[in-house]
Amino acid sequence: MIDSNLISAAILLVGLGIVSAAALRGWNGWLQLKTRELEHRRSDLEGGAPSGMARIEVADLKERIRKLEAIAAGVDL
């Protein structure tokens, strides 16, 4: 007859295998996501179309320059 401890150990081992497989699959998915993000950033740096965040930063810098020029000219905003 099979001992109950042996059955419990087998169930735990199978459960550990399932959890490990799920964790490995999640890790691989995360690595693929980060790889795509790096490729996207690299294409932006190599002259690709600017991302939305870069356009916002450029617009913010232009607004700051406009305000500084107005201050230098003595114009109140």
pLDDT digits (tens, 9 = 90+) for 35-49: 998 888 777 666 655
When pLDDT is cut at 50, 70 and 90, the band that residue 77 belongs to is low
Sequence spans of domains, the chain: 1-46, 50-77
Average pLDDT for 14-27 = 96
Quote the CA–CA distance of 66 and 60 in Å, as a whole number.
Answer: 10
Cβ 44 vs Cβ 51: under 8 Å: yes
Confidence of residue 51 (pLDDT cuts 50, 70, 90): low
Shortest CA distance to 23 belongs to which of 5, 4, 15, 55?
Answer: 15
Instruction: Give pTM, 2 decimals.
Output: 0.50
